[in-house]
Structures are given as C-alpha cells and as structure tokens.
Structure 1
Amino acid sequence: MNWPAAGFGVLGLLCLLLAGALATAVMGARSFFHDRSELRLRPIDPDRFADENASLPATGQPRIVIFGDSRAHQIAVNGKAAADWQVVNRGVSGESSVQSAYRFKSDVIDLKPEAVIIVTGINDVVAAANLPAMERAAVTNLKANLSRFALEVSGSGAGAIISTIIRPTTPRLIRRPFWSDRVYGITEEVNAHIRGLASRDVLVLDADAILVGNKATLPARFATDEIHLSKEAHDILAVHLDEMLRHRLSGAAAAR
C-alpha cells in the first residue's frame, strides 16, 4: 500500500467534510439572521387576517380559534374534534406574545368562538434568554399577556385552552453561537404561571409535561429543529386536545 497516498486521501476527505460542515454552518447562520431581520422589519398588523375573518362561513358548528405563533400554526386538531368544530387557525410564525397581542381582539374575540387554543411564548423566552438586560421585563410582559388572553377569552363566554411552553430540544452546533441555555429555566418559570391560570373556564394543556416530562430538553424525535415540533409530537398533543374539546363541547351544550 502506498501509505503517503493513502494519507493524502484521508486528509482530502477530512477537508471535504470540514468544508461541508462549514458551508452548512454558514447557511444556517445566514438563515437565522435573515429570519430575525425579516421579523424586525415586519409591521405589526392587527388586520393581518381581516379578509379571511370577514369571509368565514357560517357552518352551524361551534367555532374554535387556534391563536399564537408557529407552534399554533402547525397544531393538529384531529379525531372527533375536527368533525364537530369549525377550526380557524390564526397562528403566525415568528411572533412573540407582545406582537400577537395587537391582533388578539380581531383574530380571537371578534370571531365569537366557543373555544380558543392559545399556544404562544416560545419566541418570547428564546429572545429573553439571549438578552439578559431585557430578560425580566420580557418575562413579566409574557406572563401579563398570557393572563390577559385567558381572562379575555373566559370573559367573552368562550372556553380557553392554554398550552404550557414546550422546552426546546438540545441545540444543534450551528445554533450554539446564538443560543442561551437560560431558556430552559425561563420556560419553567413561565409554565408555573400558566399552570396557575387553570380555572373552570381556562383549561391548561400541559404540553411540556406530556412531551418533555422529567427530561432536561425536548427529545429529538419530537423536534424538527430547536423549537419546532415533529408530526409525532403534534399527533400526541392532538389526542389530548380532542379530549379537552369534547369536554368543552359537552359542557357548553349542558349550559344551554
């Protein structure tokens, strides 16, 4: 065997692998900063769904609104709930609770739903973890927004289902330079607040307990990246939501 030639071959392969990893990291960083830049420039628009809201058909079914961020946008409503309810999704990828608060009335209360699923907060806690000087203010604002959402839904006569914030999975290497593990502690703090909102008219979907439990981070099989959920995760949550929505529908019927 020509050992020098073999050595050069291995070295060449390592160089190719390193170049590939570097290219992936650069693309990941570029995508990250592109998304953040777009989010900063996007205007807050309470009338984002104005046309869709105005043209919602009268189906005769009770209406459920799903409200929040990308996790809300991707949420699954399956089983009997999907057949019994008119499902209206008003989740917007990338939004924090601070931003979505501006459209809460037009996209939730004004639609006169029978129930509302609130899934928001992950973007708030990730941002708070990366901005230590703003962390306390961000957490305070998030708690206040979640309380307000739950209170306004129940005050309208609808039932609120509010989800705890699912802790992120272990970050990929390319995300590490833009990541703070403080996000996990902040999430736990906010989840304690969410659990405290439970009442007769506010049900808590403890999604973090269901998917993460006593683990430190979201298991990899439930994640597509640091914060977004896999189909398996959404399917598991859909089973719990179906049960909660059937309970709400039967309770509303009895009240009538």
Structure 2
Amino acid sequence: MSETGDRTGVDRASVHPLGQRSVAEVTLAEFATRWVMQVADVAEIGRYAAYNERLRALPRPARRIVLLGDSITEFWGDLQVLSPDGPQLINRGIFGQRTVQMLLRIQEDVIGLEPDAMVLTAGANDVRAFVGDAASAGEAARVRIGRNIASMTDIARAHGITMTIGSMTPVCDKPDAPQTLHRDPGKIREMNLWLEAFARERQFGYLDYFSALAGEDGLMQQAFTDDGLHPNPDGYQRMAEMLERSCVTQGG
C-alpha cells in the first residue's frame, strides 16, 4: 500500500473532489456546486411532495400513468382533460430539469405513486449549450442522457411499471428567441435515433413527438410554437393525439 493509499490501494488525495488543495485553490464554480448540493433540493423533490401525499391518500384508480419530464411536459398542464373517462394521467414535469434531476426524484414522483405506466420525455436541457456553440454539447449530452434514461427505466421496470419513451421535440428560431443557438437541431435528431433504438431494444413504447411537430427541414413548425422551444396549444394537441392513440393510454 502506498503512503497515500487506503486499505483498498486507492489514493484518496487523487480522487477527492478537492484533493489536497487549499481553499484558495478551489474555484468559485466548484465551491458553488458543492454548496448548492449541500443546502438545496437540487432535484426539486419538494415541488410535488404535497400533491403526491394527497394522491397516495386517495383510492387508487383502475389505471394510473405518470408523465415525467421537463418543461415540455410541465407546460402541457392538466393532462386529465385528455382522458376524462380513461386512465389517470399525472403530470410530473419540472421546468429546466436535466435527466439527472429526474433520476434523483423518480422514487418520489413516480415509484411512490405506484403507477401502471410511465411516459418519460427528457433531454431538452441536457443538450442545451450554455458555453460555446450549440453542437458543443453533443456527445457528452448523449452519454449523459443515455446513462440516466437507462437508469430510470431500469428502476421503473423493477417495480413492474410499463415504460414508454417520448422523443425530444424539435426547436426553431423566433425573432426574440433564437433557439438553435443553444440547441443543435442535428444533435436532437441524433438523440432521437438513439432513444428510438433504445426503446425498441428494451421493448418499450415510443412516442415520436418530433415527427408530429417538425417540418421537412427538421425544425419545429412555426405554427406549433410561440417561443421556438415549447409547443403551443396547437402543438400540444398534436402530441395529445399521439398519446391518445398509443397503447400506454389504452392499457396495452
């Protein structure tokens, strides 16, 4: 064993997040990240906590479906209007979330509600580039999305929950919202190819929201969005038609 190694032979100084550096050597970004992790609910688990508690206290419906996602799901609003006499549809989308945050809250917002099925639509914020051009978030985002989605679906399947994957939705530019500066349309298409192949391999359902909303150029049709990123009522109607036709809402 080395002088710095522990009983497993690992040099803890080399793998510790801060190593042996002094406080002065720690960057502001590193400190901020660790401080937020220490004091904050980074996954926003508390967001739906009271609603989840109330749901668990009510008689369980014949069929319950949870839609987990980011703002694309959250802004869809009250999903029950899509199925007033059908399965209970529960919206568990949160604005701005990445797949890792959904993974952290899946126990509370999905598993704890004991649904029959889950529809997972995620990735829009993972592929967003905050620094550099839109394509710079490509490969790292694909690996991160793939790892987190695989983990979430494994957890769901272990609890007997039927899985459906929703594709990432397209983007387009608006005069005051140049979305393609931050999200590369080509990377979104590549990610959707992976998502579809993953769903097919795992024998999950797949909802191709992208094709329902995109034009021939691969961008969101202008009529289906007001900000270039989120569907507007007409866009959500196209998504709803696809969801209603799918086996997930039909009990298949």
**Does TM, scored on the shorter chain, surpass 0.5?**
yes
CA offset at residue 100 of structure 1?
A: 2.1
Distance 1:197 1:149, change over 3 A: same
Q: Which has the larger radius of gyration?
A: 1
Matches of residues 227-246 of structure 1 in structure 2 within 5 Å? 227-245=229-247
Alignment of 1:1-256 (within 5 A): 43-44=41-42, 45-56=44-55, 57-75=58-76, 77=79, 81-127=83-129, 130=133, 135-169=138-172, 171-176=173-178, 179-180=180-181, 183-199=184-200, 202-212=204-214, 214-245=216-247, 248-249=250-251, 251=252
SS in 1 for 2:127: helix
| Change in 2 beyond 3 A, CA 1:164/1:94 | same
Give the superposed CA RMSD: 2.9
Specify the code of the residue in structure 1 equivalent to 2:190.
E
Q: CA offsets per residue over residues 14-35 of structure 1, 9 Å max, x none?
A: xxxxxxxxxxxxxxxxxxxxxx
SS at match of 1:117: strand
Structure 2 runs not aligned, ≥5 long = 1-38
Percent identity between the two aligned chains: 24
Give the 3 Å change call, closer, same or farther, for CA 151–82 of structure 1 in structure 2: farther
Per-residue deviation at 1:72? 0.8
**Where do 5+ consecutive residues of structure 1 fail to align?**
1-40, 252-256
Quick one: distance in 2 between partners of 1:63 and 1:226? Answer: 31
The number of residues matched between the two structures is 210
Task: Write 1 or 2 for the structure with the bigger share of helix.
Answer: 1
Evaluate the alpha carbon distance shift between residue 201 and residue 113 of structure 1 in structure 2; reply closer, same or farther with a 3 A threshold.
farther
- AA partner of residue 183 (structure 1): D
Which structure has more relative contact order (CA 8 Å, sep 6+)? It is 1
What TM-score does the superposition give when structure 1 sets the normalisation length? 0.71
Q: Deviations over 1:76-112 (max 9, x none)?
A: 7477734221222111111121222211121111211
Alpha-carbon distance in 1 for matches of 2:189, 2:227? 20
TM-score, normalization: structure 2? 0.72
